[in-house]
Amino acid sequence: MKNIPAIFSLIVLFSTFSIQASAQYFHVKKVEDENELSFLILTGKTPAENLINTYLQGQELNLLPGKQKQSYFENIAPAKGSTTGVTELNYQVLTNSSRVFSVEINREYTSGKLNESSTVYNFDARTGRFIQLSDLLTNEGYKAVRKFVIADRKKRLSNYLKTAKNPADADATKVYTECLNSMTGDDLNEDDLKFGANGLSLTRKSCSGSHYFQALEDEANVYANQLSIKFLLPHLNDYGKCLLKIKSENCLFSPVTALRKGVYKGKINQMYPITLLITYLKDKSCYGTYFYDKYGKPIDFSGTIGKDSDLLLKKTQSDDTKSKPEVFNLKIMADGSLTGNWGDGEYTFPLHLVTF
């Protein structure tokens, strides 16, 4: 009987471990090289995991899953004899549940000078769909939350500027005064969004984008907002309530007639598979990368959204004089898919791209 407490402790320990293990919805594998580059791969074969891997690898590694020749980092690490490229890359899984998969990617890039940045990515664990703040809110709810967040940040930044009277702060004062004026036009979908047990965290990108101002920015504390479930509740749609575990039924997102960040897949002329990533979207402009699936080589593009949901995407011209211009003339359909044609100045073929 003396061993009962020890046995009980082992049972509790095992149970705790089992709960923690089962809480990890996706199995995450770490890949790394001999330098300071590491990245995550979801090892499952579900459509959701494939989409998440496709977006993350396409955006961060300039790579389609399975298309690396020698290393996952071959397209981003500095070439031999060069100092230009990603010199440090790591990640932190923030949420790994049956509803949401979130990861924060931290990177250092050198190109004459050192640049540090980080991005938080959120995905629907059931479908692999990219999640942004406005997906969780009603239209009126997004407007209300945006109005509150911007007013709060402007108030905090204004208060900070009133205290910045040291002559050494002159440069910072100029930067933040300009930032104060530009905050009015902020799109909260560009913020880093984090899911928490008690609500959401929103963090704006740096006003300066410079290490020089980092200490001042930490002191000013104008970028982050903690939004409690109590505050959010009147503004959430059913999808948002489900992802935040306020409602227990299946988290279903209603398609919208709008371009959105994420993975689009289709075939040119029903013959040539292509994967297109929308990675930046603001107002009537977008940027991203596309891959011909057979080759897996990244090709950058820029795009404009016109009237009647028309979408024009153009391949970013390179220094290669033999490279043909490629243009996508598409229309955004009611279900969010893209339909139209692809052309390279010589041939024009039909194209239909679906998103998930």
Candidate CATH numbers 2.60.120, 1.10.3470, 3.40.50, 3.90.640; the one for domain 134-243: 3.90.640
Global pTM value:
0.88
> Taken in order 47, 53, 56, 57, is the CA torsion positive or negative?
negative
C-beta pairs of 146-154 under 8 Å, 24+ apart in sequence? 146/186, 146/188, 149/186, 149/188, 149/202, 149/225, 149/227, 150/183, 150/184, 150/186, 152/225, 153/183, 153/204, 153/222, 153/223, 153/225, 154/180, 154/183, 154/184
72 Cα distance to chain centroid: 19
Q: Which residues of 8-29 are buried (b: 16+ CB within 10 A; e: fewer)?
A: eeeeeeeeeeeeeeeeebbebe
Identify the CA nearest to 313 among candidates 323, 299, 325, 328: 328
pLDDT of residue 20: 37
Kindly list the domain boundaries of the chain, sorted by start residue: 24-131, 134-243, 262-355
Residue type (1 letter), 337: S
Phi, psi torsion values for 297, nearest 5 degrees: -90, 130
DSSP 297: -
In whole angstroms, give the CA distance from residue 228 to residue 281: 27
Q: Which helix (H) or strand (E) covers residue 238, if one does?
A: helix 238-243
* Locus of tokens 């227990």: 248
From edge to edge, which strands make up the β-sheet containing 192-196?
192-196, 199-203, 224-228
pLDDT at 190: 94
Do 37 and 105 meet the contact criterion of CB atoms below 8 Å apart? Answer: no
DSSP letters of 193-233?
A: EEEETTEEEEEPPPSS--GGGHHHHHHH--SEEEEEHHHHG
Tally of CA atoms within 13 A in the half-sphere of 330 that contains its CB: 27
Q: Under CATH, domain 262-355 is a member of which superfamily?
A: Quinohemoprotein amine dehydrogenase alpha subunit, domain 2 (2.40.128.120)
Residue in 107, 49, 47 with CA at minimum distance from that of residue 73: 107
Residue 285 to residue 280: CA distance in whole angstroms: 8
pLDDT averaged per 10 residues, the chain (length 356): 44 38 79 93 97 98 95 94 93 97 96 87 96 96 98 90 69 81 92 96 82 60 91 97 88 85 97 97 93 96 92 84 86 94 96 94
Q: What is the pLDDT of residue 195?
A: 98
Question: 331: which strand partners?
Answer: 310, 339
Q: What is the CATH number of domain 24-131?
A: 3.30.565.40
